[in-house]
Structure 1
Amino acid sequence: MISQTSQPRLKGYRFPRSIVSYAVWAYHRFALSLRDVEDLLAERGVTVIYETIRAWVGKFGAQIAKRVRAARRQPTDKWHLDEVVITIRGKKHWLWRAVDSNGEILDILVQTRRNARAAKRFISRLIARWGMPRVIITDKLRSYSAALRKLGLAVDHRAHKGLNNRIEGSHRPTRKREKIQGRFKSARQAQRFLAVHDETANLFRPRRHTMTATTFRQKRADAFCEWAGCASEIAA
């Protein structure tokens, strides 16, 4: 994954751009701590402390994810929406997430409420980014119906817990990372981290069971190329 091609060095940084992008990729692609990434780099002859990796992840992760998101294809017109509770400093927050019918994560939003106003804010954000869907599938939380009425959207809303299994699995990596990090430290930190984490998952976790080994390897190679291309555009 560490690029062998020559890339312009980040001004003011000791390590080449390929090392920085590899550290960000490894941290978000796998369930690793910052110290785990430090050990991975050390095994490759790169001596860097985990606090430096934390700074790289915080600064450059969002830049790479933004470019990956901009290059994404238009999602399908059937969306699945769900919300899951996360605890931050002893207070309940709600992580709202949307995926399309292929399982690709469209967006996430951390909010302190689970009401119609919060649902309206999340749906408005989705439509502003991706346009109008044909179908929205949710669980039986009434806040979704209220939000759709307030927005005046003429979409097919299907409120049925059994129909929303598509999105349930997308919460598992979040739970795993939450445990590794000893819970998120703030709503802002959770939002920033999960936005990058989910974009990385979209790129490097295709629905492998639906494709041949050859197709999967090609998609993986394409994902590495796309990540390297996005990393080559980050700014110090």
Structure 2
Amino acid sequence: MKVPSSFSRLKDFRFPREVIAYAVWAYHRFAMSTADVEDLLAVRGVVVSPETVRLWVNRFGRHFADCVRTDRPKPNNMWHMDECVITIGGVKYWLWRAIDADGDVLDILVQPRRNAKAAKRFFRKLVKQFGKPRVVVTDKLRSYIQPIRSLVPDADHRAHKGLNNRIENSHRPTRRREKIMCRFKSPQQAQRFLSAHDQINTIFRPRRYKLSNQSYRHARSDAFALWADYTAEMAA
């Protein structure tokens, strides 16, 4: 089927960039497998294999995530940090995640350790990217103490499990995707997927409980407009 396109076609790709962008959006926006996205496209007359969808997601997911990072406003200066365990090939790894006070994910990092060295590596990456926070909220893991004191000595470090419920909730989408994908296949695959997944969901999951219906619809329209702009910027 020939699909009409309002954008120039990507070199060496059979389908127009709108189809590819739609597949990437559907995969990251909803709790879908590549086979689910295949069926979603098939209903619209686009016949592809789950492997093709997987290649699209791997190749262009990072492009959209980078666009979101570039355009996002400066994050709130109150950060929440936490780590959760993920099992890959029978081996435990730690997924380090940081969000701001608005609940937007700043970054994630998959590491094999849960010690001060791992905490410092992740925290240094955040400070380099976003600057120094005013407040850092963590659980009572002592590995956070030395990195925070050395990198942001003036920050107010609040180590209390009850204060960190916001980031505990942000782990839930990861758990859902981990189940759908029958666990992650490698640390590199988990890092690649989650880095894109969290950023893409930032613009398509506004805090609906804080918004009126009209405000939510405006936010959704803005998100689709941004996605169209990012689609136009795709490169083969």
TM-score by length of 1: 0.97
State the alpha-carbon separation in 1 of the partners of residues 68 and 77 from structure 2.
Answer: 20
Task: State how 1:74-153 maps to structure 2 within 5 Å.
Answer: 74-151=74-151, 153=153
* 1:8 Cα deviation from its structure 2 partner: 1.4
* 1:150 Cα deviation from its structure 2 partner: 3.5
Aligned length: 234
Show the counterpart of 2:219.
Answer: 219
Show the counterpart of 2:233.
Answer: 233
Show the counterpart of 2:195.
Answer: 195
Task: State how 1:148-159 maps to structure 2 within 5 Å.
Answer: 148-151=148-151, 153-159=153-159
State the alpha-carbon separation in 1 of the partners of residues 146 and 88 from structure 2.
Answer: 27
Offset from partner CA, 1:111-146 (integer Å, 9 cap, x none) = 000000000011100011111100000000000002
Show the counterpart of 2:186.
Answer: 186
The DSSP-based 3-state class of the residue aligned with 1:84 is strand
Question: Gaps (5+ residues) in structure 1?
Answer: none
Kindly provide the amino acid, as one letter, of the partner of residue 216 in structure 2: F
State the alpha-carbon separation in 1 of the partners of residues 82 and 40 from structure 2.
Answer: 35
* 1:5 Cα deviation from its structure 2 partner: 6.6
Show the counterpart of 1:23.
Answer: 23
Offset from partner CA, 1:182-216 (integer Å, 9 cap, x none) = 10011110000001100111010010000100000
Offset from partner CA, 1:21-79 (integer Å, 9 cap, x none) = 00000000000000000000000111111111111000011111111110000010000
Task: Say what the alpha-carbon RMSD is for the aligned residues.
Answer: 1.2
Offset from partner CA, 1:55-105 (integer Å, 9 cap, x none) = 100001111111111000001000000000000100000000001001000
The DSSP-based 3-state class of the residue aligned with 1:32 is coil
* 1:4 Cα deviation from its structure 2 partner: 8.0
Q: Is the 8 A contact 1:80 1:101 kept in 2?
A: yes
State the alpha-carbon separation in 2 of the partners of residues 122 and 183 from structure 1.
Answer: 23
The DSSP-based 3-state class of the residue aligned with 1:15 is coil
State the alpha-carbon separation in 2 of the partners of residues 136 and 45 from structure 1.
Answer: 49
Q: Which runs of 4+ in 1 moved over 4 A?
A: none
Q: Is the 8 A contact 1:68 1:227 kept in 2?
A: no
Q: Is the 8 A contact 2:5 2:16 kept in 1?
A: no
State the alpha-carbon separation in 2 of the partners of residues 165 and 15 from structure 1.
Answer: 43
Q: Is the 8 A contact 2:7 2:17 kept in 1?
A: yes
Kindly provide the amino acid, as one letter, of the partner of residue 153 in structure 1: P
The DSSP-based 3-state class of the residue aligned with 2:74 is coil
Residue 180 of structure 2 is aligned to residue 175 of structure 1: no
State the alpha-carbon separation in 2 of the partners of residues 198 and 102 from structure 1.
Answer: 14
The DSSP-based 3-state class of the residue aligned with 1:154 is coil
For the structure 1 residues 152 and 72, does the alpha-carbon distance in structure 2 shift closer, same or farther, using more than 3 Å as the test?
closer
State the alpha-carbon separation in 1 of the partners of residues 225 and 219 from structure 2.
Answer: 10
Question: Gaps (5+ residues) in structure 2?
Answer: none
State the alpha-carbon separation in 1 of the partners of residues 228 and 137 from structure 2.
Answer: 35
* 1:148 Cα deviation from its structure 2 partner: 1.7
Offset from partner CA, 1:153-196 (integer Å, 9 cap, x none) = 32100000000011111000000000000100111100000011
State the alpha-carbon separation in 2 of the partners of residues 203 and 152 from structure 1.
Answer: 29
Q: Is the 8 A contact 1:34 1:50 kept in 2?
A: yes
State the alpha-carbon separation in 2 of the partners of residues 163 and 152 from structure 1.
Answer: 20
TM-score by length of 2: 0.97
Q: Among the aligned pairs, what percent are the same residue?
A: 59
Kindly provide the amino acid, as one letter, of the partner of residue 121 in structure 2: R
